[in-house]
Chains A and B, each alone.
Chain A
Amino acid sequence: MLELRALHKRMGARCLADGLSLKVDAGETVALLGASGSGKSTLLRMVAGLEPLDAGQVLFAGEDVTRQPPEKRRFALIFQDFALFPHLDVQENVCFGLVEQGWPKRLARTEAQAMLATVGLHGLEHRRVWTLSGGEQQRVALARALVTRPRLMLLDEPFSALDAELRSAMQDEFRQRLADAGIPALLVTHDPAEAARMAGRVVRLEGGRMRPV
């Protein structure tokens, strides 16, 4: 499904990708470990199209998307701090991507409500996002991403802001939802236990290349 071919990327003096290659198959979740500063977040941003490559190719389903802007790729990125829009309420956050896809407002709202119910947030539709707990915010971020039916899910340490108990509950929940939706995913984490729990395969980013673990 997703194929990264010989990516090169320098940031200042650091070489973050030096001929990096990786494949993620349909329905597969790959966990990406690596030391802090090794370039994991940058890699996700490159895959999402938010950061230009120095060289290399990003392919999805055989199609070269390297030059596509992020909005055309339909890859969802979940940020470490969730990046919810503070000027919109919960439901409007979830509708955001649907509106961009041209859904009529009313249909988008119904769809968003259904998605919110699936992630257990029924009744919170009109809350301001900053009044939510950490776990609730994360579910909103997940719902906002899933509702657009992304072709690929990119997760950047999505559980690191949560306490231990909530974290393991959310890990199970995420794994279940990704499996249900059949979406391939690339999960960045620095926790080997989390990687083992969530992913079918674990790789490590080191010196700008992928090493199997």
Chain B
Amino acid sequence: MLRTRLTPAALALLPLAFLGLMAVGPVLRLFAEGAGQPSANLWADDYLRWRLLWSVLQAAASCLAALLAGLPVAWVLARFDFPGRALVLRLLMLPFVMPPLVAGIGVLALVGPHGLTGVDLQDTPWLLLYGNLFYNLPLVVRAALDGFAQVPQSRLAAARTLGAGPWRAFWRVELPTARPWILPALCLVFLYCFSGFGIALLLGGQRYATVEVEIYSLVAYELNLADAALLAYATMTISALTALAYALAERRLAQPLRFEPVARTRAASLWSRLAVAAALGLLFFCGGAPLLAVLGRALLAGRAGWVVLLEPDTVAALWNTTRFTLMALGAVAVLGVAHALAARRSLLMRALGFLPFVVSSVCVAFGLLLLYPAYTASLGLLVASYAFLAYPFVTKNLLSAFDAVPAHLAEAARTLGASPARTFWRVSWPLAREGFARGMAFAAATAVGEFAVTLFLSRPEWTTLTTLIYQHLGRPGSANLDAAMVLAAGLMVLALAAFLVIDRPARATRGGEHA
């Protein structure tokens, strides 16, 4: 192994300082504040215990549902050819980049009070589970699809000739091969569902909101920092364990070997067509329908609704969203690259890359207010928070891209006369650049859709599209609801544009299908 010992440590300084200032400091500050107050006993308090238990339950249930629905869908996409398959793969991750506000509004427009379907799931747990599936089904499908693509034709053929029927071959060959891809995805799904804020705030309602929302009300409305800190301890422990499990599972991903992947067959038989139709139907139900509902509602709003787009408030909000996003992207690009480089051989740094997912963003936002009172109204702090929330996407995608660069390519470059720095510039970076772009695309979508931290740190003149929508939703009257729908549709388009501009279709750099 070629290694330069000093550089990773030096590279780690910048990201570590950032994470310390943005996460560790604020959270400790909040805990210190809470320690001065008398607190409830978590195990004796039925209400708080239920919140915590429900948060774990709903995250676990979402994992299970995403797995049960995602596996067959991914298998169908991996094994069958059908018209429009490429388009489906291209659109697959669309829900994942949608702002929580858009997703929440979409689900409500579909199955909320006066929803388009006529079914009202308000005040049931199904609303939150629907929202979770909207985000996380694509994640599991994508991961399982990558996993199924790793099954060599020969291995499947061997299983079949050894007497395994298709079903047994799936259980004993395909699923075990794909498992290293699926497990990390499930960890992520758990993490997102457990610690997500926006979706839980909008869809959980009174009864089924998660701990994160509870922390938010404790901090923002009741100023009960002691109980908030108590809940935060518990959630951060659970999130940290999940993130560690993710880092471990992800590291086991094997280096791709040369092999002939299983060929896809044309969906010609009746049952295969039914399977394709069912898979697409499921994807549409979970991911497409809520988005179409937003669009539908926005269109129904008519001219009176659409004039909101021309209001000075909207234009200002659009400008704010755009410039905050661009500034955050600049910051997170530098931080993410430094972190990923430092983390290539360090499990600890890998796990630390998930810190922004692990610490409760509500705690961070409030801790920032307590810790840096002089800067609460500074743009720098707001942009830094955006960068903080987008951080894991860049590090994670870039790290997996670095991991996927075969070590011997860098070694070949060295024997051809390239120094370590030149090797990085001419071989590792070009091969990992796509992963970087993908991470930046997710980061952009996160920044465009952010509203948890913005709620805390924003000043009136910094209103972004998300906070504007939230304001409209909070005001009475159907005109405000229409305006919210139209703005949500606009936000959806913006998030999509940000994603598409950055994550352009991959120039094929490898032999195999690169869906």
Contact = CB atoms under 8 A, between A and B. Distances in A.
A92 to B, nearest CB: 10
B427 A76 contact: no
Given A69-B414, A100-B416, A81 B258 contact: yes
Nearest to A97: B416
Task: Give the secondary structure class of A's interface.
Answer: mixed
A12 interface: no
Given A83-B408, A130-B511, A76 B415 contact: yes
Given A71-B417, A81-B258, A86 B2 contact: no
Contacts of A128: 508
Contacts of B2: 50, 70
Interface residues of A, number: 31
A85 interface: yes
Contacts of B414: 48-50, 69-71
Contacts of A74: 417
Interface in B159-217: none
A100 B422 contact: yes
A48 to B, nearest CB: 5
A144 interface: yes
B426 A83 contact: no
Contacts of A154: 415
B415 A70 contact: yes
Nearest to B412: A83
Interface in A157-201: none
Nearest to B512: A130
Contact of A86 (B416, B420, B509): B509
B347 interface: no
A148 B416 contact: yes
A83 B406 contact: yes
A71 B418 contact: yes
Interface string B488-515: 0000000000000000000011110000
A80 to B, nearest CB: 9
A69 B258 contact: no
A101 B431 contact: no
Contact of A83 (B409, B420, B509): B409
A96 B431 contact: no
A60 interface: no
A131 B511 CA distance: 7
Given A87-B430, A87-B509, A130-B511, A81 B419 contact: no
Contacts, number: 76
B413 interface: yes
A118 B150 CA distance: 38
Contact of B412 (A73, A77, A101): A77
B269 to A, nearest CB: 33
Contacts of B415: 48-50, 70-71, 73, 75-77, 154
Given A86-B510, A96-B426, A100-B422, A148 B408 contact: no
A39 to B, nearest CB: 16
B260 interface: no
Given A86-B431, A96-B426, A81 B510 contact: no
A90 to B, nearest CB: 14
B413 A96 contact: yes
A77 B412 CA distance: 7
B416 A144 contact: yes
A49 B412 CA distance: 11
A83 B431 contact: no
B411 interface: yes
Contact of B419 (A50, A69, A97, A99): A69
Interface string A45-77: 100111100000000000000000111011111
Interface in B382-408: 406, 408
Which of A50, A70, A154 counts the most chain B CB atoms within 10 A? A70
Nearest to B416: A97
A77 B411 contact: yes
Contacts of A76: 415-416
A69 B420 CA distance: 9
A208 B427 CA distance: 34
A130 B513 CA distance: 12
Contacts of B431: 86-87
A75 B414 CA distance: 10
A189 to B, nearest CB: 18
A154 B415 CA distance: 10
Interface of B: 1-2, 258, 406, 408-409, 411-420, 422, 426-427, 430-431, 508-511
12 contacts: A50-B411, A69-B419, A70-B415, A71-B415, A71-B419, A75-B415, A83-B409, A85-B409, A86-B511, A100-B416, A130-B510, A144-B416
> What 6 A-B pairs have minimum CB-CB distances, sorted nearest first?
A130-B511, A97-B416, A100-B417, A83-B412, A70-B414, A77-B415
Given A81-B408, A148-B417, 18 more contacts: A45-B411, A48-B411, A48-B414, A48-B415, A49-B414, A49-B415, A71-B414, A71-B417, A76-B416, A77-B411, A79-B412, A83-B411, A87-B431, A96-B413, A96-B416, A96-B426, A97-B416, A100-B422
